[in-house]
Structure 1
Amino acid sequence: MNVNHEGPTPAHQRPEGVSDATVEALGSVSKALETVERARGHLYEFHQLTGTADLELGRAVELLRKAGHEDWADRVDRELVGRNVLEGRWTFQVVEEYDAGFYEPYKSVEAELREDLAQGRSHLYEAEMKEARRTKGAAHHAAHP
């Protein structure tokens, strides 16, 4: 099959009647969502690092006991092991609250916006930027695979 590689795929072409301002606005919403995705990744990293620290603290309690430091082992165990990071919450609960109360609504509105204004097409701003910046016909500058 002969495929034309000299322009964006239909999924990345601006629908008829969609203005430059709309494409720019959708690109800005997309960039904001990508930033939220990065923040969410950091939140999961916070979750995993905090959990790892708590497990290591449990190991430290055992080592303190083995070394004969019962008072310190008891204090670390009582005051730090299993401690909430926020009032009433472990990190998994923070992640769940973020996902349900912020991340999912953010993704939903972004998807509805794209559907309503651009027939669901994503990355129109970036696709048009690529088309404007690439060197047509040059190696490693194809519009798509």
Structure 2
Amino acid sequence: MTHSEHHRPDGTDDATVAAVGKLTEALETVERARGHLYSFHQLTGSADFDLGDAAELLEKAGHHRAADRVRAELVGRNVLEGRWTFQVVEEYDDGYYGVVKAAERDIRNELVAGRRHVYEAELKEARRTHGRPGHEATPHQAVSNEATPRE
């Protein structure tokens, strides 16, 4: 991605850049929540297999009633009414997540020509120390600086 792909389009005001930046920040939080939901999905699946293993160990130890209870009440149990975690993940992806992601993309396309992270790029430009190694505006400038001998 080039440096110019992060510049605000001509005529775009500060309030618009800030608003679209906040919308993107919200999407990023939704992305993080989605990652936690996938962790929940995988951890719950692992726990279900552990419950099955626990039932087998209880059986081998002679605790048949306890093993039967674990198998009947816990192994393969829904986490929400009628749903295993894969169904929760799918419903989230197809519903809330999909709607937020589409709205952010559509509004960003409409208001800042689809450019991503315009707010952050301007924040970077304002906060970096120009001309100092490690503060280059783009990766290309960093590579150029490495090729230039330092005094």
Match of 2:117 in 1: 123
Alignment match of 1:57 (pick from 51, 57, 60):
51
Q: Do residues 24 (structure 1) and 29 (structure 2) align?
A: no
* Structure 1 position 102 matched with structure 2 position 79: no
Within the alignment, does 1:91 sit opposite 2:85 as a pair? yes
State the AA in 2 paired with 1:106. V
Equivalent position of 1:12 in the other structure? 6
Aligned to 2:147: none
1:84 shift after superposition = 0.4
Of structures 1 and 2, the one with the larger relative CO (CA 8 A, separation 6+) is: 1
Q: Distance in 2 between matches of 1:10 and 1:82?
A: 52
Report the equivalent of 2:62: 68
More helix by share: 2
Structure 2 unaligned segments of length 5 or more: list them.
Answer: 140-151
> Percent identity, aligned pairs only?
64
CA RMSD of aligned residues (A): 0.8
| Structure 1 moving runs of 4+ over 3 Å | none
CA distance in 2, matches of 1:53, 1:67: 20
Give the match for residue 128 of structure 2.
Answer: 134
* Aligned pairs for 1:31-46 within 5 A: 31-46=25-40
Question: 1:4 corresponds to which residue?
Answer: none
Distance 1:75 1:55 in 2: 15
Under a length normalisation based on structure 1, what TM-score does the superposition of the two structures give? 0.93
Q: TM-score under structure 2 normalisation?
A: 0.90
